[in-house]
Structure 1
């Protein structure tokens, strides 16, 4: 059985994701599709709209055969670290090929960009530092440095978010000496950051979430842009837990934590650097919402995304020391199974003896720094739920076995 892999967040699963799954099967001729999916908190430093279990159900009902979790220590990171963790998991699961969406849509352009970067690495690093000194963010400085190095070959635009991720997926495959092949499909109809609907059927996850949190909007507003099962699961989640997660729900917890921290305590939090602790502590006192707090913090140097990730680490009390222990190895140390179709279960059974990492169907017994951070992050994620739901979900996250899906009957087992 040939397995192909994709790296996802599904926040939430929409029609563009369904197209990605279909095209991955077609392009790679795969029998099995494995998705590595972020858990409770995401790459841009946001809480997921609904739990990883609800998003796993969305994935399984829409053609994914196996869903595994990308640990927090990789999922809430810059693109390079995010990619390293995800690729290491797919490689351990003996995936033959990965397929990612990109603004470029041409895999050769990714390889050309990597070749230029490798041949001019010292100059590239120098240019990045020079641009940062002018007040640019790291992401902007990287983009400008790549642009400066472009030669007479076709390369990617590294200012585009999916191109950046795809570049690091491709680099990670090379650096980890994986036998995996990389391929890409071109994004169309909507841009990653679009906040409004631009097409009749395809919309960005950003615009879908914005509609869901609009006071006057109902779930019917997103119906044209998501599969029916996504709409149903979102409705069920809100009915069961009385909310959909976003940063404003956590702001009172973040503010309480910051009001009780000293600068030296805050400086120990992962990614709090260069005296940023003083700016954070002076801004939090007057802030009355997460959005207002972020607007007070944001500068050219510190992007919204970077600051959101820092806020996530503050909220989860994730320290530099913890992350250093977790990242002794630059790849995942276990595989947490979240869900499987019947075909997926057959595939896992066929390769189980060849998987070199621990394969977890729950997290009750394994002790590992990566998993310690995951448990803590999940507990924080569910802390805004009313009791007894909060306690039940925290326990479920540790004890839950993989969700099983019968693809012939289209039912969860």
Structure 2
């Protein structure tokens, strides 16, 4: 059985994802689609709209065959670390290919750009350091530095978010000496960060979430942009949990963590550096909500995304010692769900996997997985008490979801 891998967040699963899934399966001539999916907190430093279990079910009902969780220590990270963890998982489960969406849609452009940068590495690094010294963020410094290189306009546009991720996926494949073949399909219609609907059927996850939070029932405006299983599961989640997850729901918990921490304690938190702890504490004392807090701590040196990730680590009390010095590869495979086709693939291939397959946490003792457990507990804080306890128990006892 030939497997194609996808690296996803599905926040939520929409028509653009359905197009990517179908195009990936066709491009790879695959029998099985395996998705590595972020857990309850995401790469841009946000809580997922609905839990990872609901997003797993969305994925399975919309055509994915196996869903494996991307561990917290890779999921809430910069693009390079995110890519390394996800690629290591796809390699461990025997994927022949990885297919990603990109603004470029031209795979050769990625390889040409990687070769080009390898030949310009010293000059490129010098430019990055110079721009960072002027006070700009690292991603901005990378983008500006790339433009400083001779003939850079002939290569990939590394200012585009999906091009950046695709670039890091291919770098990870090369660095890990994986046999995975990279494939790319062009993103269709909606840009990654579009906040408004730009077509009749395809919209970005950002614009869909914006519509959901601006409507009482979160349904009417998004019907044409998401498959029916997604719509049904969103409504079910809202009915059961009384709210979708967003940063404002967690503001009181984040503020409590901040104002009850000393600068020394904050400096132990992952990604708190360069005196940021003082700025965080000052802003926490005078902010009334998360948006207000973010605007107070934002500087041109730190991107909004970087600061949101930092806030997630403060919220989950994730310390440098827990994240630094770990391997660039995952150490386990947390199985969240499968279809009957996916189950057949696992039965046939799991003995060949290079990492242990975890189907239930209660039977697994890996220390690293405690970060995922802690993230799940924090994620559950904003739902009603009787359901909160169930969500926490679910993290230990929930068997993989099976969609037949």
TM-score (norm 1): 0.96
Q: Which residue of 2 aligns with 1:410?
A: none
Structure 2 gap ranges (5+):
none
In the superposition, relative to structure 1, how do residues 95 and 261 fare at CA in structure 2: closer, same or farther (>3 Å)? Answer: same
Q: Which residue of 1 aligns with 2:390?
A: 392
Q: Which residue of 2 aligns with 1:302?
A: 302
Distance 2:341 2:276 in 1: 49
Distance 1:33 1:186 in 2: 18
| 1:118 shift after superposition | 1.4
Using the TM superposition, name which of 4-13 and 391-400 deviates more.
391-400
Q: Which residue of 2 aligns with 1:107?
A: 107
Q: Which residue of 1 aligns with 2:27?
A: 27
User: For each residue in 1:142-174, what CA deviation from the matched residue of structure 2 results, as whole angstroms up to 9, or x when unmatched?
Assistant: 111222225378421111100100000000000
User: For each residue in 1:226-277, what CA deviation from the matched residue of structure 2 results, as whole angstroms up to 9, or x when unmatched?
Assistant: 0011010000001001110000000000001101000000011000010000
1:213 aligned counterpart, secondary structure: helix
Q: Which residue of 1 aligns with 2:126?
A: 126
Q: Is the contact between residue 105 and residue 184 of structure 1 (CA under 8 Å) also seen in structure 2?
A: yes
| 1:2 shift after superposition | 0.4
In the superposition, relative to structure 1, how do residues 147 and 346 fare at CA in structure 2: closer, same or farther (>3 Å)? Answer: same
In the alignment, structure 1 residue 47 sits paired with structure 2 residue 47: yes
User: How many positions carry a matched residue from both structures?
Assistant: 404
Q: Is the contact between residue 124 and residue 146 of structure 2 (CA under 8 Å) also seen in structure 1?
A: yes
Q: Which residue of 1 aligns with 2:233?
A: 233
Distance 2:336 2:154 in 1: 39
In the alignment, structure 1 residue 63 sits paired with structure 2 residue 63: yes
In the superposition, relative to structure 1, how do residues 153 and 284 fare at CA in structure 2: closer, same or farther (>3 Å)? Answer: closer
Matches within 5 A, 1:209-224: 209-215=209-215, 218-224=218-224
Q: Which residue of 2 aligns with 1:333?
A: 331
Structure 1 gap ranges (5+):
407-413
Matches within 5 A, 1:14-413: 14-151=14-151, 154-215=154-215, 218-324=218-324, 327-406=325-404
Using the TM superposition, name which of 20-29 and 151-160 deviates more.
151-160
Q: Is the contact between residue 28 and residue 97 of structure 1 (CA under 8 Å) also seen in structure 2?
A: yes
Q: Is the contact between residue 102 and residue 186 of structure 2 (CA under 8 Å) also seen in structure 1?
A: yes
Distance 1:186 1:250 in 2: 35
User: For each residue in 1:195-215, what CA deviation from the matched residue of structure 2 results, as whole angstroms up to 9, or x when unmatched?
Assistant: 110110000000000011114
| 1:218 shift after superposition | 3.6
Q: Is the contact between residue 116 and residue 150 of structure 1 (CA under 8 Å) also seen in structure 2?
A: no
Q: Is the contact between residue 146 and residue 152 of structure 2 (CA under 8 Å) also seen in structure 1?
A: no
Q: Is the contact between residue 147 and residue 153 of structure 2 (CA under 8 Å) also seen in structure 1?
A: no
Q: Which residue of 1 aligns with 2:12?
A: 12
Using the TM superposition, name which of 150-159 and 218-227 deviates more.
150-159
In the superposition, relative to structure 1, how do residues 281 and 163 fare at CA in structure 2: closer, same or farther (>3 Å)? Answer: same
2:201 aligned counterpart, secondary structure: coil
| 1:133 shift after superposition | 1.1
Q: Is the contact between residue 116 and residue 149 of structure 1 (CA under 8 Å) also seen in structure 2?
A: no
In the superposition, relative to structure 1, how do residues 71 and 150 fare at CA in structure 2: closer, same or farther (>3 Å)? Answer: farther
Distance 1:271 1:22 in 2: 37
User: For each residue in 1:375-408, what CA deviation from the matched residue of structure 2 results, as whole angstroms up to 9, or x when unmatched?
Assistant: 10110001111111111101101111110011xx
Distance 2:193 2:240 in 1: 29
Distance 1:28 1:287 in 2: 50
| 1:138 shift after superposition | 0.4
Distance 1:25 1:31 in 2: 7
| 1:136 shift after superposition | 1.2
In the superposition, relative to structure 1, how do residues 307 and 4 fare at CA in structure 2: closer, same or farther (>3 Å)? Answer: same
Distance 2:155 2:376 in 1: 39
Distance 1:117 1:391 in 2: 50
Q: CA RMSD of the aligned region, Å?
A: 1.1
TM-score (norm 2): 0.98
